[in-house]
Amino acid sequence: MNAPRVVISIYDDFDNPHYAGGGPAVVRAVAARLARDCDVLVVTGGRRWRRLDRGGIHHLQLPVVWAGPRLGQAIWALMLPFVAVLLRYDAWIESFTPPLSSNLLPLVTRRPVIGLAQALSGREMARRYGTRVPLLLERRLLRRYRDIVVLNARDRDAVQEFSSAVRVHLIPNVVPAPPRTPPDVTEGTYALFLGRIDITQKGLDLLLEAYSGPGAERLLPLVVAGAGRPQEEEKLRELVVAAGPRVQWIGSVHGQEKEDLLAGCAFLVVSSREESFSLAALEAMARGRPVVRFDLPQLDWIAPECGEVVASFEVDSLREAMVSMSTDVGARSLAGAAAAEHAQEHVGLHRLDKYRRLVRDTLDADGSCRQPRHRAGELTLARATAHRGRRPGRR
């Protein structure tokens, strides 16, 4: 019997110039675990049709990124259901995409679709546009799913509240163990923001306002690392100039540069107005770095003793908490040790075996552990993508 085929779809991708957030890292890790039992195909956004291999995992990129971040997401939402009709698979894991999270896949296939709520976009869209319509539409669409994976207890409760028929699975994010023992946190020389550049959602306006107010001279210098849409980056440049020379934006970081940046910081700041988990916080905690954050319920997985927790969106309180982490080396050391200990339950990719069990249980319940027949549509899609700009290592 052939291994069952599982498709994982996510708009974001490591090559995406507009986002390239933590989502692709999560999907890469999940795909690697599933590949032990399944034939895995990851479908992402790209500039053109392209099939490639990454670490033994097949990828298919759909031509949407050329349209820019927002129009590209809209084209993705329109295109993905057609791709779901054409491809063959036994199960599909759909990483939700703004603005309404769902891409309607349960409406176009009889195969099981597992929703992956790396973000429930309805809250953010409702806040951004001052209307509950996106939230109400999101809730109606999510009722179509039989299984949804969430990253935090607040999202689990929210999904269960509006749909008792949906089976909600809480599977928090995990990270690999740090490649080396980081320096002592007391040696850190700067505060760090690490994430996508989205001024409003990530609260960068609040963070840089905190660096401009009274008492800011007691703060350690701030390093901002990340990239975003050109409009967001332009806004950030203006905010950095206004905040003064003690704030530095260094752009996107990866690999060893990112590892060195985490190792050298004194603490991480999560200033977001909206989050689902904050993979950056977990990465910092795994290296013994405290986290200063707002009291968002989605971040309650971070114990208070792992840093400083302040009332949401209160700039003065945020500044005071960062001053404490900047100046009280003893408190920083205790918080860093607590952060490292607390992070251990999220360290190790073997913890993603929960996805393997979920997929196996879903296939067993669906009775479709065998490969379905090839469809004419899938062969058309394969021909459309197989011979475009083929290079070594691409499929």
| Residue 267 C-alpha from the chain's centroid | 20
Per-residue pLDDT of the chain (395 residues; tens, 9 = 90+): 689 999 999 999 888 877 767 889 899 999 999 999 999 999 999 989 999 998 889 999 999 989 888 898 999 999 999 999 999 999 999 999 888 889 889 999 999 999 999 988 888 888 878 888 888 898 999 999 999 999 999 999 989 988 888 999 999 999 999 988 889 999 999 999 999 999 999 999 999 999 998 889 999 999 999 998 889 999 999 999 999 999 999 999 989 999 999 999 999 999 999 999 999 999 999 999 999 999 999 999 999 999 999 999 999 999 999 999 999 999 999 999 999 999 999 999 888 999 999 999 999 987 754 444 344 344 445 444 544 444 333 33
Q: Are strands 91-95 and 57-63 parallel, antiparallel or unpaired?
A: unpaired
How far does the chain reach from its first CA to its final CA, in angstroms? 24
Q: What gap in Å lies between CA 25 and CA 277, rounded to an integer? A: 14
The answer to whether domain 5-174+348-386 has CATH 3.40.50.2000 is yes
Closest by Cα among 87, 122, 92 to 368: 92
Alpha carbon dihedral 259, 261, 262, 264, in 10-degree steps, equals 120
Q: What gap in Å lies between CA 277 and CA 352, rounded to an integer? A: 16
| pLDDT attached to residue 381 | 55
- Which residue matches tokens 């940046």? 261
CB contact at 8 A, 226 and 196: yes
| pLDDT attached to residue 374 | 40
Q: Which residues of 106-124 are buried (b: 16+ CB within 10 A; e: fewer)?
A: beebebbbbbbbbbbbbbb
Token output for 224: 């901002």
Token output for 306: 């792992």
CB contact at 8 A, 22 and 29: no
| pLDDT attached to residue 59 | 96
Token output for 57: 């995992």
Class for domain 185-346, per CATH? alpha beta
Sign of CA pseudo-dihedral 296, 302, 303, 306: negative
Reduced to 3 states (helix: H, G, I; strand: E, B; else coil), residue 161 is helix
CB contact at 8 A, 244 and 211: yes
Domain positions in the chain: 5-174+348-386, 185-346
Q: Which residues are CB-neighbours of 197 under 8 A, at least 6 positions away?
A: 204, 224, 226, 227, 228, 229, 232, 233, 236
Cis amide prior to 99 (ω within 30 degrees):
yes
Closest by Cα among 232, 260, 237, 264 to 248: 237
The single-letter DSSP state of residue 183 is P
CB contact at 8 A, 113 and 143: no
Q: What gap in Å lies between CA 316 and CA 61, rounded to an integer? A: 45
| pLDDT attached to residue 387 | 41
| pLDDT attached to residue 1 | 61
CB contact at 8 A, 353 and 171: no
CB contact at 8 A, 377 and 86: yes
Burial of 130 (0-12, 13-18, 19+ CB in 10 A): exposed
Would the pTM of this model clear 0.75, i.e. be above it? yes
CB contact at 8 A, 107 and 81: yes
| pLDDT attached to residue 20 | 66
Q: Do domains 5-174+348-386 and 185-346 have the same CATH topology?
A: yes
Token output for 146: 């039989």
